[in-house]
Structure formats: C-alpha cells, structure tokens
Amino acid sequence: MTKEIVLTGDRPTGKLHIGHFVGSLKNRVNMQNSGNYDPYIMIADTQAFTDNARDPEKIQNSLLEVALDYLAVGIDPLKSTIFVQSQIQGLFELTSYFMNLVTVARLQRNPTVKAEIQQKGFGESLPAGFFTYPVSQAADITIFKATKVPVGDDQEPMLEQTRELVRSFNNAYGKAILVEPEGVFPPKGQGRIPGLDGNAKMSKSLNNAIYLSDDADTVAKKVKSMYTDPQHIKVEDPGHIEGNTVFTYLDIFAPDKQKVQELKEQYMAGGLGDMKIKNYLLEILEAELSPIRQRRNEFAKDKGAVLNILKTGSQKANSVAEQTMKEVRTAIGVDYFDKD
C-alpha cells in the first residue's frame, strides 16, 4: 500500500508549548504511528528569518530545542523524516517560481498573514519575506507532494493559498505535477489554546505559555497564576465558567469529562475555590508532561546524536525534493543542460 505523504513543521524561535502539543504535535505522532503515512517534519528556520533576520543566534539556539521537543513527544526518526528547511536547496528555487504565479493583492487578502502582521506591529517596516511567506510555505508542502498537512485551525487560509498555487502551476505548464494538500486539524475546541492570562492565544511573545520543557515547579507556578473569574472572590461565591482559562484547559486535557462537568456545576453554584480546580488541572498536566519532560532530558544528554538525526533527515528530504524539482524544471523548460 502506498503511504500518503505528510508535511508539517514549526519555526525555531523558542521551545514548543502545550498549545503546539494539542494543536498539531499529537496529530503528527498519531499519523506517524498509524502506519498509513510517510511524515516529513520540518524545522522551518528559513521562515523564522522573515522576522528574525537580525537575530540569527535566536534561530540557531532554538533549532535544537525544537528537535528535542519533537523527539520528546514521540516523533520517531525511524518513522518520520525530521529535517531542516534551509538545507533543502530546491525550496528556494520553487518559491521563486511560485512568486510569479501569485499577485500582491492575493497575498494581502490572506487573513492569517494580515492578523500576524497586525499582531507584530510591523507598520511600514513589514519585511517582504514575511509578507510572502505563504508562498514559501506552499513550496515546503508541494516539493514533497504532501497530501496531508497537520495544522491548527488558523492555517486553513495558508492551505487554500497552497492549493491555488498548485492549480496555477499545473495549469500554466500543462502538467499535473504538484499535488493539492488537505489539512488535518485538531479535535474541535483544541485548535487554539488561550494563554495563561486569558489572552485569546498562547504565545511565546506574550509570555503566557506552558512549555513542554518546563520543570514541575515552573508548571505549578504557572498554573497557580492562571486567569479564572475575577468576580469569584470568595469560595462560596458563584463563579463563571465562560472565559475561565482553568476550565478551558480542563475541557482539553482532563480525561474524566464527567468529573469536569461536576466541578463546573459546583463552581457555578458556589462552594468551590479556584485553588482546588487549579490543583486538579496541575495533576492532569503533570500526568501529560512528566513523561515528555523525562524523554526530553534523556535526548538532551547527547545533542550530537540529535544533530545527526537532523542531518540524516535533511539529506533524505533533499533527495526527495530534488526529484520533484527535476519534474518542475522540465515542465517549465529550464532543464537546458539535462536534455539528450
């Protein structure tokens, strides 16, 4: 049976947090272990330069951290190809070809990019590379002919732009070379986890995240600081569930949904303190994070071996990408010196 190709990845701008874990990492591990897919998992260092070009050390230092997070959650280099984006030379070439098949107006309409530009406050200093990174992302996916892309809910506009570029390329050059990908999304309600402060999105830049590498004491401090219900002053006061970050996390992580429902009812009726529900959440999170943390610490003992995994994966990925680029060059007609 031919396995479907999966492409996914993360930018190396810091360690990964639990939002990444439930948003896409779990999907990647499940797909890898199903035996039905051939996953390519990319550390997107080139994309990280689009807004960190003047801080290369940040990207270099984060590269290994992201690799350790991948291995810690269960991504297996014997089942998945983990590689580094900058080491795949064909990506730069394919991106340049795609640039001529998309308009500035179309890029401006991409809601994901518009939101990120606003969040980062670029204004007139918007880097061209950041503005066009959906084109680069399309090259990442299509150079491996990926059929599935595990992503968060907010990435659907990026996938649609990729599909448009695939159709434009295949139509322009009269050959169905590239493949339109489909998104694989997290379970309903888990696509975006709010930050510890109640902010709509957990983010490194907002300093409101629990990281997969956080030790037990750090996780405990962060959970105890979480936003709940500001009107819930006394234990006996009725509390509100909506917008209460602790209950949002319990809905996502707690396996006993009946118990969570009972806690909600008790909290709304009055008589349940914030610290009790925080302690329960901490128990749930530690059960999830402790084995991840232990595996991460073991892999971190031999960083040279981790770098070798990335090197080997990048060599394999580069070989696969080059096969696609040969087809692309032939279709476009720039294989001048490869013809008989």
Q: Please, which pLDDT band fits residue 16 given cuts at 50, 70 and 90?
A: very high
Give φ, ψ of 5 to 5 degrees. Answer: -85, 135
pLDDT at residue 48 greater than cutoff 70: yes
Mean pLDDT of 179-191: 81
Closest CA relative to residue 5, chosen from 120, 142, 174, 208: 142
Q: Please, which pLDDT band fits residue 1 given cuts at 50, 70 and 90?
A: low
For residue 72, give the amino acid letter: A
Identify the pLDDT of residue 326: 97
Second-level CATH architecture of 216-297: Orthogonal Bundle (1.10)
Mean pLDDT of 328-339: 92
CATH of range 4-192+303-332; options 3.90.470.10, 3.90.78.10, 3.40.50.620, 3.30.70.240: 3.40.50.620
List the single range of 79-83, 92-96, 235-239, 315-319 with lowest mean pLDDT: 235-239
What does the block give as tokens for 247? 């209950």
Mean pLDDT of 287-294: 96
* 31 φψ region: left (φ > 0), alpha (ψ -120 to 50), beta (else): alpha
The secondary structure of the chain in percent helix, strand, coil, rounded to multiples of 5, reads 55, 10, 35
pTM score, two decimals? 0.92
Give the pLDDT confidence of 129-176 residue by residue, as tens digits: 999 999 999 999 999 999 999 887 778 889 999 999 999 999 999 999
- Report domain extents, the chain: 4-192+303-332, 216-297
What does the block give as tokens for 94? 């394919």
Give the Cα separation of 59 and 62 in Å (integer): 5
What does the block give as tokens for 155? 């990435």
Give the Cα separation of 102 and 138 in Å (integer): 11
CA–CA distance from 183 to each of 139, 151, 154, 245, 259 (Å)?
16, 6, 11, 27, 33
Give the Cα separation of 141 and 111 in Å (integer): 19
Closest CA relative to residue 65, chosen from 87, 43, 42, 85: 43
